[in-house]
Structure 1
């Protein structure tokens, strides 16, 4: 079985989030691990199942849409995250893992690997750990100097493998900052606005594209991955996904199983 590495955006916000959900449901996957690293093609507010339990989810969805962000309920857990073309998204699928491999050890290993990549990009004091008042808080967030969150991850584990999804904030636009603030308020989440920042606030020469290239190089060497493309069948099927906001990735993939 192969370790495959794909890069580059595969479509709009819905398509990009449906693809890993489809790949996660692939029985007898022809890869051990498949990693997709990309710069998003548009603005997205990625909700989680947990967010849906908030009485403010309808208001949060309306805020996202009014701000020009596609509201999507992603497959992994965690809490809401918003991003645009100033971010890098990494979807890491592993067909060899199951529920026994979920939890802290996977988060810790990925966070440490991500910190090493960020420290190699310049004078960035990247650390593992939650900072006070951060959005989508987590023990294994990656921060800069203990002040701002720049990387967050979430996981989904099923009988067919695991999906570990990561968002790296490189250049946080005013629009992303505002929508994280406003949506968090609607959902009833505490937030310290000064905890929102990107890598470019510390190393201005960085772009989402250069950071994506750094992560591609890391996965290729660290996991011995072979360059590949997103499977054509997954891309074709995901591109047909449509639904009312917020679009539910798992509901759609269950209702529209793919046959290969």
Structure 2
């Protein structure tokens, strides 16, 4: 496998900071933005891009979650507790987004040359790199008992703090990670467990939904026993890409990207209406 840093060395890296919760109206918009960026990175009109994004009190669902036997009861309970729900366009199951969770999208070109596992591994290695002075104990494997379990769960001493998904659009790939930076990781897991309890009501459902054990999930601040903040992690990411690339260019969506964004946003709205109906 090529050195993961090679993805950053060929040209200046584009950096987009959407971590202000008011940057975009919803997580639905963030998925549409990543699609638009994957198109422009894939066709070469944009350099590889790192984008940060944050959404408060949002539960991002996978398609299987929308097929829970009592999904209306589950979503209704979340809404009663002040959470919005969005069905993502990438793989995975339900995750929690809030102001202590930093989402990072690494958007790379040449999907025909970049294998799916190589894309995941690039994000794993990048994450290890930005925290290299704090810990060498980050591991990637499926953490049983966590929400949205997968082969590329990131954990320290078996406690999960991050998960990775991947979305491929034309010749570009958006590798997305949610980093639970601050707050109570077990509390977030308990929230998703309660959602599944109401969505399943004792039935098995048509999918193998996870049995969530809240103690399997923590935030990085909890795991490292330091007052780690979102701002510090954002700074680490910026310095990290600056250290390994020829430069960093900061700019938001360009005109053609905004056109692609609008099209992808319409697709996201349609996807959510089809998946959730009146619950969308």
- TM-score if structure 1 supplies the norm length? 0.79
What corresponds to 1:189 in structure 2? 210
Q: Does 1:135 align with 2:147?
A: yes
Alpha carbons of 1:22 and 1:70: their partners in 2 closer, same or farther (altered >3 Å)? Answer: farther
The answer as to whether partners of 1:155 and 1:165 remain within 8 angstroms in 2 is yes
Counterparts of residues 95-134 of structure 1 (less than 5 Å): 95-98=109-112, 101-120=114-133, 122-123=134-135, 125-134=137-146
Normalized per residue, which structure has more helix? 2
Pick from 237, 243, 246: which aligns with 1:221?
Answer: 243
Residue 180 of structure 1: how far off its partner (Å): 2.2
Pick from 38, 53, 65: which aligns with 1:51?
Answer: 65
Distance 2:232 2:147 in 1: 25
Q: Does 1:160 align with 2:171?
A: yes
Residue 189 of structure 1: how far off its partner (Å): 2.6
Distance 2:188 2:258 in 1: 27
The answer as to whether partners of 2:95 and 2:192 remain within 8 angstroms in 1 is yes
Alpha carbons of 1:239 and 1:30: their partners in 2 closer, same or farther (altered >3 Å)? Answer: closer
Alpha carbons of 1:223 and 1:235: their partners in 2 closer, same or farther (altered >3 Å)? Answer: same
Residue 225 of structure 1: how far off its partner (Å): 4.8
Distance 1:177 1:117 in 2: 25
Residue 216 of structure 1: how far off its partner (Å): 2.2
Distance 1:76 1:223 in 2: 28
What corresponds to 1:33 in structure 2? 48
SS of corresponding position for 1:153: strand
SS of corresponding position for 1:200: helix
Q: Does 1:205 align with 2:205?
A: no
Q: Which runs of 5+ in 2 are unaligned?
A: 1-10, 201-208, 273-280
Distance 2:236 2:92 in 1: 25
Alpha carbons of 1:24 and 1:109: their partners in 2 closer, same or farther (altered >3 Å)? Answer: closer
Distance 1:75 1:108 in 2: 21
SS of corresponding position for 1:163: strand
What corresponds to 2:13 in structure 1? 3
The answer as to whether partners of 2:193 and 2:211 remain within 8 angstroms in 1 is no
Pairs aligned (count): 245
Q: Which has the larger radius of gyration?
A: 2
Q: Does 1:85 align with 2:107?
A: no
SS of corresponding position for 1:94: strand
What corresponds to 2:204 in structure 1? none
Per-residue CA distance 1:15-58 (angstroms, 9 max, x = gap): 333311332344735113111023x1422111123333333433
Residue 241 of structure 1: how far off its partner (Å): 9.6
Distance 1:105 1:123 in 2: 23
What corresponds to 1:62 in structure 2? 76
Q: Which runs of 5+ in 1 are unaligned?
A: 253-260
What corresponds to 2:86 in structure 1? 72
Alpha carbons of 1:197 and 1:18: their partners in 2 closer, same or farther (altered >3 Å)? Answer: same
